[in-house]
Amino acid sequence: MQFDQIAILVTGCISIWLANDNRKSYRIWASIIGMIGQPFWFYASYRADQWGIMCLSIFYAIAWAKGLYLNTRKEILTVNRSKECSHCGDCVIGLGLTCEDPNESKS
């Protein structure tokens, strides 16, 4: 087995496993490891003239980048927050990114 195939196997298995973890800190690593594996996908598909796999690899790279953006964006927004949402603790009240409490009546 060639090095690129081993790298695809290892990064692919680890990133998919972590992407389905309950802990957000692990899901962030899924995107990072998935992105690390993408150059190996590109190289292997180019070397084998597998252009369909190359297109799929481009889509995967975009999907991993989206996951990295979405999983880190909230962390950046919530690090310097002054108030936390009293319902879930994940909302940023000052930026208007709050959840709605089903027990509160709307006026």
pLDDT of residue 11: 96
If phi > 0 it is left, if psi is from -120 to 50 it is alpha, else beta; for residue 92 that is beta
Residue whose token pair is 């796999």: 53
**Widest pairwise Cα distance in the chain:** 65
Residues of the chain with pLDDT under 70: 74-107
Give one DSSP letter per residue of 25-41, joined into a string: HHHHHHHHHHHHHHHHH
Q: Is the pTM of this model over 0.85?
A: no
pLDDT of residue 76: 52
